[in-house]
Amino acid sequence: MSRLAGKIAIVTGAGIGIGAAIAERFAREGAFVYVTDINGETAGETVARIAKAGGKAAAVVVDVSKGQDVTALVRRIDAEHGRADVLVNNAGILVRGEVRNLTDAEWTKLREVNVDGVLRLSRDALPLLRKSAAGSIINISSIMANRGLRPLAAYTATKGAVTALTKGLAVEYALFNVRVNAISPGYIETAITDRMLRLPQARKFLIDKTPMGRLGSPDDLTGAALFFASDDSLYCTGADLLVDGGMAAGL
């Protein structure tokens, strides 16, 4: 398999969960992957698995909410490869709680990671992506971007912003031959959802709401990411692909 042979990919939040699964799939498909994460240890573990499988990757500590980290990443990639072909904006955090109890600090951090981080990387990596023959940005949004759920109003607002930003960037970046698409997962078993999914009632409720009868795994997202990263999607931009086991269709 080599659908991404020779491509240079950046995956944020790739130390664990969805980001790690996407990074490993890209490497198996022939890409050199910059595995970025705020946690250098977990990023290194992802790179170690990639190397063990025969792939190529580098771990880079990046906090997407900090401009200096993003600048350093872009400069490194420019020096080492001179271009980037794929950017996956996956890094994100979850803050639970009713908005009436949300502090300014919590909201600021949520916005800085989930929205500002996506915008900052998409902006700062553009010069590298323009040097690609077929640049692609993939933003990880959520099915919650278009619906409300207690106690996740603030989180859903940030994901709604990611979906809207995807569409705006798709129109703007088409001038530079850079595609911008989103993937909106349903309930995926990751560290972010672990607290809720440990509750038997919550797990049963969500499975019952999913027509396919199960929750998703990080690996369930990798096919969609590969499609948007590869030349199979050369005429696809501004899309928001649901990967949710049919949950949104059944609600």
Residues acting as catalytic residues: 155
CA 60/CA 35 separation, integer angstroms: 6
CA 23/CA 14 separation, integer angstroms: 7
CA 57/CA 27 separation, integer angstroms: 7
Alpha helix (H) ranges present in the chain? 17-28, 40-52, 67-80, 104-111, 117-124, 126-130, 153-173, 191-197, 200-208, 222-229, 247-250
CA 65/CA 128 separation, integer angstroms: 20
Helix, strand, coil percentages, rounded to 5, for the chain: 50, 15, 30
Beta bridge partners of 138: 88, 181
What are the structure tokens assigned to 219, written together?
Answer: 């690996």
